[in-house]
Amino acid sequence: MESRAIPFFEQVNRHFDKAATLTRFKPGLLEQIKACNNVVHFAFPLQRDDGSIEVVHAWRAEHSAHKLPVKGGIRYAPHVSEDEVTALAAMMTYKCALVDVPFGGAKGAVRIDPTLYSDAELERLTRRYTFEMVNKNFIGPGIDVPAPDYGTGQREMSWIVDTYMAVAGNQIDSAGCVTGKPVSLGGIRGRTEATGRGVFFGIREALADPAFVSATGLEGGVEGRSVIIQGLGNVGQHAAKYLSAAGARLVALAEREGAIHDPAGLDPEAVIEHRAATGSILGFPGASNLPTTEAALELDCDILIPAALENQITHENAARIRARVVAEAANGPVTASASETLLERGTRIIPDIYLNVGGVVVSYFEWVKNLTHVRFGRLDKRFEEASNARIMHAVEELANVKLDAARFAAITAGAGEAELVDSGLEETMIAGWRAMSETSRRLGTDLRTAAYQIAIEKVAETYLGRGIFP
């Protein structure tokens, strides 16, 4: 029997072990891939605004250094633990390998409720945490590159890069020590919405795959599909916006304070504005309040998207899930036993190690930008526009037509940073889906096991290529 307190790392390793049986590698190599290479627990003092001293507990886990740097977000939450951080670092290893992002996996966390701290306290805490990571050699553009996660954002990343530059000295690539920064500090356009955008691309590709459509009966793509989203944080709200814009019908939204339901469809922008004004999604005009957040998970729908935290669908409630597809926008929202229950009942799962890779993919683009010191599109946008214009002028001459200026400009426009980032993310999600789907069919297994099998193969090949294992 499972509970919501089930060890997260154990869940990840159960998925790993299932996929490992489908590989050709020796047990020793598989154990090395599965093991967490390094994890450090920090305990440091924080002076509160009232002058009192509080001891803060924090972690940084580096799961696999088969490729450097390692990469993973930092979350601020009251429930974090070493087990959770280690599990998330392992998942990051497998995500990066699956979609060919050249990083090992890492994760960090600070055990606080950020809503209970002032901005000044959060700044002192973040800078001290960064100092501790520098002191232990757990951060650097070629070593370990953090990013935002639950409870953190651009502001915290700004404090991290500023502290790193002050402590580590004037290094030319210092901006690459962290991603998810504001554009003014070396960030990249499109990073904030990247994970939610990736969720949309992943679901779109699934619903365009004949094999997946045949298994689920969801013909016709995204348009008209009934969707439920749990979690309106950065990932959930952007996934909601993109799916809604593509014609999906958001029949329910859930947050920590409760859930709302409207079979006719909810406007995510309006719900977000309502929550900002009232502090809650409850009482949204035209929608009914559900008795609990969990009740939203059990409503009938085409696609259920858990976009909050891990262990939201367990052995206890899996049999009550009525969605045809569970799309894991969060990390580990469905436990291993619950996954088996859902699959046995015919529910298809789009796994987390594929669906929420958007953040690390665009973080990779930001890291590359920081190391090259060149904005994407800067070198070729105008050249591309001039080339397109020459082609269009030739077409106009041959067809004896003249386009109006606005249409001509739209057709010949070159790609800037935002467009290139979006294109790169889309290509990654398309290629990732095709590889995972093809492997699933070839091996006769579910999508999650296929994704882990691909990841294990790629990490193992890296170790073998370095001559570490015979």
Q: Give the DSSP letter of residue 413.
A: P
Instruction: Give the position of tokens 């497998």.
Output: 94
Instruction: Locate 285 and state its tokens.
Output: 């005009």
Which residue in 347, 265, 343, 332 sits closest to 298, CA to CA?
347
Enumerate residues 6+ apart whose C-beta is below 8 A from 420. 376, 377
Distances (CA, A) of 113 to 52, 80, 85, 127, 152: 17, 10, 16, 17, 11
> Starting from the edge strand earliest in sequence, which strands make up the sheet with 38-47, in order?
38-47, 53-62, 104-111, 70-77, 144-148
Helical (H) or strand (E) element with 166: helix 154-168
Instruction: Locate 56 and state its tokens.
Output: 């803060």
Distances (CA, A) of 343 to 338, 347, 446: 9, 5, 8
CB 347 within 8 A of CB 444: no
Which residue in 365, 448, 420, 411 sits closest to 187, CA to CA?
365
> What gap in Å lies between CA 282 and CA 271, rounded to an integer?
9
**Residue tagged active-site, from 18, 107, 181, 381:** 107
CB 175 within 8 A of CB 186: yes
User: Is 107 part of the annotated catalytic residue set?
Assistant: yes
> What gap in Å lies between CA 274 and CA 279, rounded to an integer?
8
Residue 327, strand partner residues: 350
Burial of 451 from C-beta contacts in 10 A (0-12 / 13-18 / 19+): buried
Q: Give φ, ψ of 288 to 5 degrees.
A: -100, 145
Peptide bond into 27 cis (omega under 30): no
3-state class of 350 per DSSP?
strand
> What gap in Å lies between CA 456 and CA 190, rounded to an integer?
29
What is the gyration radius of the CA atoms in the chain, in angstroms?
A: 23
> Starting from the edge strand earliest in sequence, which strands make up the sheet with 348-350, in order?
288-290, 258-261, 249-255, 226-230, 303-306, 325-327, 348-350
* Residues involved in catalysis: 107
